[in-house]
């Protein structure tokens, strides 16, 4: 009887310390912003599913190798991100899929010029092997 009680206590304690799926998604959101600030574009690409798609403003839908090329740090964009924050308004989860939408904000530096920007986004997530990854990602800027 003591063994069963001990196992139940251990199981309860482990379950109470497990992160919820929403917490795991929020953690991925924070990592994405950190990767942007650090210029770790390979890690940004790893945030997406193998068949992930991005939909930046004024472009076609990008996927596969186009996704990697879009986030490639060697592409001449002329600026670097010094601040990036994603602010989810809502996160809904159904099994191994989820969505979230909200706003983002950031700061870029190009030479001596600093630019602040913000926008709105929608992300569709998929849980793959215990990790939440971005399947669809669409965003566009809003006026400040």
Domains and CATH numbers, the chain: 20-141 (3.10.450.50)
Torsion of CA 67, 68, 73, 78, to 10 degrees: -30
What's the CA gap between 97 and 91, in Å, rounded? 11
pLDDT, tens digit only, all 144 positions of the chain: 565 544 445 444 444 457 899 999 999 999 999 999 998 989 999 999 999 999 998 889 999 888 888 887 654 467 889 999 999 999 999 999 999 999 999 999 988 899 999 999 999 999 999 999 999 999 999 986
- CA-angle at 111, arms to 108 and 113, nearest 5°: 55
**pLDDT at residue 132, as a whole number:** 98
What's the CA gap between 143 and 8, in Å, rounded? 54
- Which residues contact residue 84 at a Cβ distance below 8 angstroms, ignoring those fewer than 6 apart? 33, 36, 37, 104, 105, 106, 107
What's the CA gap between 65 and 30, in Å, rounded? 24
């Amino acid at each position: 009887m003591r063994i069963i009680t001990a196992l139940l206590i251990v199981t309860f304690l482990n379950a109470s310390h497990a992160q919820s799926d929403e917490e795991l998604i929020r953690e991925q959101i924070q990592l994405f912003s950190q990767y942007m600030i650090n210029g770790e574009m390979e890690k940004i690409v790893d945030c997406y599913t193998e068949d992930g798609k991005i939909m930046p403003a004024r472009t076609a839908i990008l996927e596969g190798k186009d996704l990697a090329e879009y986030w490639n740090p060697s592409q001449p964009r002329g600026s670097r991100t010094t601040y990036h924050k994603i602010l989810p308004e809502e996160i809904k989860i159904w099994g191994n899929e989820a969505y979230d939408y909200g706003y983002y904000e950031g700061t870029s530096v190009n030479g001596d010029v600093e630019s602040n920007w913000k926008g709105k986004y929608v992300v569709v997530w998929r849980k793959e092997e215990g990790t939440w990854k971005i399947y669809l990602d669409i965003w566009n800027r809003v006026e400040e």
